[in-house]
Amino acid sequence: MRVGRDEVAGPAPRSGGKAAPQGLPIYLGIQRDIERKIFGGEWKPGDRVPAEHELVKTYGCSRMTVNKAISSLAAAGLIVRKRRSGSFVALPRMVEPLLTIQDIRAEVLSTDRAYHFDVLHRGIRTIVDRTDADHVGVPLGTRMLCLDVMHYADNLPFTLEARQISLSVVPEAAKEAFADLPPGTWLLRNVPWTDGEHSLRAISADEVMARQLRIAAGTACISISRRTWRAGQLITFVRFLHPGERHRFVVRFGPGPGGITDVRK
């Protein structure tokens, strides 16, 4: 069988590319060189990967070979390809318990990334519609503190939060400024809870969500709705919107009914 010129390592690449060991397929040498740049911190999460025509010049190979290397890196989850935008170094995906009430602030800080949050909207509403009351899980006439919050990891949008807090159960929330702690962290520190419920679904980001999260419209996202109660009374109803490429879920389970031992995001 005849071997094409791009199938095994040949001359050293141009413009700073690292040559693959002799006998190693060139696409794999390119893949390993890019992996070295990612793992070594030269290319950071969110950085744009050079376009294929730039990599062709750098490594002195065909575009087909470069495409094969990039496809392998994308399949491995190290880079993310975005239509019309190019390829980017993938963000590290959070892995965290899902069967517990998570503190987003603590999650981000645990990965040695800088954390901050912005309260995008704040208001109080009274629930007067029966369908709305049933959906939220509170009696008619309940006053709810409504908050939209963006959480950031290293200045990149991490999670968009839309929260409602029952002022019948947590009246002190009405006067809380949430200047130092995000609402979820504040609630965990100040309001005991007895029951919780998570509901997950996949959605596509619309233009407003995409703009807020700095992702392309249509990007797959994970929507998690959470309710927490204290002795049967709703404390808070919140929806978290996570860009799918920045999060993953892991479920650990055993045989038989009730065999789930851990669910992680």
SS3 143: strand
Mean of pLDDT over the chain: 82
Are 170 and 195 part of one and the same domain?
yes
User: Which has the minimum average pLDDT: 93-107, 153-167, 200-214, 235-249?
Assistant: 93-107
* Domain-located, residue 12: no
Confidence band, pLDDT 50/70/90 cuts, at residue 249: low
Residue 16 maps to a domain? no
The predicted-structure confidence for 124-136, as pLDDT tens digits, reads as follows 999 999 999 999 9
Number of domains in the chain: 2
Which of 89, 120, 136 is the last residue in one of the domains? 89
pLDDT tier at 152, thresholds 50, 70, 90 = very high
Q: What is the mean pLDDT of residues 86-93?
A: 78
At which residue do the structure tokens 């996570």 appear?
Answer: 242
Report field, pTM of the whole predicted structure over 0.75: no
CA distance 135 to 229: 14
Q: Tell whether 84 and 112 lie within a shared domain.
A: no
Q: Are residues 60 and 131 in the same domain?
A: no
- Judgement on whether residues 53 and 123 belong to the same structural domain of the protein: no
Q: Is the pLDDT of residue 88 over 80?
A: yes
pLDDT exceeds 80 at position 258: no
Residue 246 domain-assigned (yes or no): yes
56 against 16, higher pLDDT:
56
* Four-CA torsion 218, 222, 223, 229, nearest 10 degrees: -170
As to burial, measured by CB atoms within 10 angstroms (0-12 exposed, 13-18 middle, 19+ buried), residue 71 is: middle
The strand pairing partners of 159, in sequence order, are 151
Task: Tell me: do 142 and 253 sit in the same domain.
Answer: yes
The per-residue pLDDT for 138 is 95
1 inside domain: no
Return phi, psi of residue 55, to 5°. Answer: -70, -35
| Greatest mean pLDDT among 87-91, 152-156, 241-245 | 152-156
Of the chain, the end-to-end C-alpha distance in Å amounts to: 47
Token digits of residue 138: 């509170």
Beta pairing partners, 156: 153
Are 63 and 109 part of one and the same domain?
Answer: no
The pLDDT of residue 92: 60
Report yes or no on 8 lying in a domain: no
Share of the chain above pLDDT 70, in %: 79
Locate 219 and state its tokens: 């990007």
User: 9 lies in a domain?
Assistant: no
Question: Quick one: 147 exposed, middle or buried, by C-beta within 10 A (0-12, 13-18, 19+)?
Answer: buried
Residues 58 and 183 in one domain: no
Domain that residue 59 falls in: 26-89
CATH code of 248's domain = 3.40.1410.10
**What's the pLDDT score for residue 186?**
94
Handedness of CA 180, 181, 183, 188 (dihedral sign): negative
Q: What is the pLDDT of residues 35-52, one digit of tens each?
A: 888 877 788 888 899 999
Give the mean pLDDT of 238-243. 92
> What's the average model confidence in pLDDT over 156-179?
94
Which residue, of 58, 89, 120, is where some domain finishes?
Answer: 89
**Same domain, yes or no: 75 and 203:** no
CATH number for the domain that contains residue 47: 1.10.10.10
Question: Tens digits of per-residue pLDDT, 11-35?
Answer: 445 444 554 445 568 888 898 889 8
Clarify whether residues 202 and 71 are in a common domain.
no
Q: What is the mean pLDDT of residues 107-121?
A: 89
Q: For residue 15, is it within any domain?
A: no
- Whether 20 maps to a domain, the answer reads no
Kindly state the average pLDDT of the residues 73-90.
84
Task: Give the residue from 50, 66, 89 where a domain finishes.
Answer: 89
- Residue owning tokens 């911190």: 41
> Do residue 85 and residue 108 come from a single domain?
no
Report the b/e string of 89-111 with b at 16+ CB within 10 A.
bbbeebebeeeeebbbbebbeee
Is the model's pLDDT at 264 over the cut of 80? no
Query: Mean pLDDT throughout 215-244?
Result: 90
The answer to whether residues 36 and 144 belong to one domain is no
- Mean predicted confidence (pLDDT) in 215-226: 89
Q: Are residues 116 and 39 in the same domain?
A: no
- 4 CB-near residues (< 8 Å, 6+ apart): none
